[in-house]
Amino acid sequence: MTTSNITDEMIDNVLCAAFEGGITYWCSQIYHQGNFPGDAEYGHQVVTRGQHVTLFNMFDDQDNPTITRDTMAIGIQKEAERQGMTVEAWYENHDASDADNAVQMAAFGEVIYG
């Protein structure tokens, strides 16, 4: 699977949509350890700056996945493919629900919730 056409800006924007409302029905907390790296001002920007976030799953406290830049790129690619779209078309039309699905693809390898 090639994810080279997925930019940091795409990942930042998809995570912003997910964190601000897309995943809040299954994720009770988004955790990042330490200070934000470099020029990151918001939590959705840390994964494209080389760090990760942990998502606390309110339905299964034993399954708290970690999201990195690589896993998020794969999640976006998989969700675009699942919807039968190119990454570019999916990105231009994504909403919070689509962002949720991409995060679930990154976190679990499939859409579990919603």
- pLDDT exceeds cutoff 90 at 19: yes
CA distances for 14 relative to 59, 66, 92, angstroms: 23, 16, 10
> Starting from the edge strand earliest in sequence, which strands make up the sheet with 53-57, in order?
27-31, 53-57, 66-67
For the residues 38-55, what does the mean pLDDT come to? 89
Alpha helices in the chain (DSSP H): 8-17, 69-82, 87-93, 96-108
Instruction: Name the more confident of 72 and 37.
Output: 72
pLDDT tens digit string along 54-85?
A: 999 999 888 899 999 999 999 999 999 999 99
